[in-house]
Amino acid sequence: MKVLVTGGGGFIGEAVVRALLARGDSVVTFDVQFPARWTGHANLVTVRADITDMAAVAQIVMTHRPQAVVHTAAIVGVLSSIASPLSLVRVNIEGSLNVFEAMRLGSIKRCVHISSEETYGHFRTDPVTEDHPLDAVYPYGISKATVEQLGRTYRDVHGLEVLNVRTCSVYGPGLPRDRVPKNVVEAALAGRALHIPSGGDMAIDHTYIDDTVSGTLAILDQPAHRFDAYNIASGHTVTLGKILAIVRELIPSAQISIGPGWGRHGDQIDMVRKGALDVSRAANEMGWRPRYDIRAGLAAYIEAMKRKD
């Protein structure tokens, strides 16, 4: 299969590209920049392009004629979305429309879009199923919910199939944002003391990057879908305090601690109420299940970081 991956230079995008190549697919990917560690691959085409440039996106699609799209390109995170809402709209919403339009012009039918649990807003149940109302609170979640709904419009009007991966707090090697568990793992490995003032009681679903990728590819590969959204996560909550305790067990020299209470984005804005994501739809429809609980995921993360050093 030839797959176009948008945002291939990003955290999830790069992981998806590498997984596709590893199983023998041909990949075309574009982003505004790529990691210096990228090396040539016979089945990989990289293009420097901006998703907000409709002409560039359309040219990539019409030139390379992929059979499907995995859409990972986005401005990610609540704080980023609040700091630059106009850029968020241009990249996340206008950029997604550019992808959908290019697909329409190129007669490409399937797009797997990386969405977010932020689309749910405050969780009304725990765990939360895909039938939970989309009631996003902050601009990032609003943008993702908007893209999901635009995808349904393109489905109904143009016959596109836009499938949404609702994942949660993805972590692992390459995570760019300074948050748990990245900050505590890096501090522990460096022998640096770190105290986080609050948030130890916050329990949310953390997803190891390999599970996000395997779930995304399962959705991509499924011949037909009854649903257009799937929770892809660990299926369980863990408090930030427990994460630090596990890191201390895995790295006994770690000097890390966290205060009690609920979490805040950058110690500025309260996080929405969350919980676990129910992953039974993905299990029932595709046979997909997460491989990593939080302990296994943290262990894999730490080992990958050690190899990197």
Catalytically active residues are 140
- Measured between alpha carbons, how far is 149 from 76 in angstroms, rounded to an integer? 18
Backbone angles phi, psi at 226, to 5 degrees: -85, -20
Coil, helix or strand at residue 207:
strand
- Measured between alpha carbons, how far is 257 from 275 in angstroms, rounded to an integer? 22
**CB-neighbour burial class of residue 292 (10 A; exposed 0-12, middle 13-18, buried 19+):** buried
195 pairs with which residues across the strands? Answer: 257
- Measured between alpha carbons, how far is 139 from 77 in angstroms, rounded to an integer? 9
Q: Which helix (H) or strand (E) holds 167?
A: none
Q: Which amino acid is at 66?
A: P
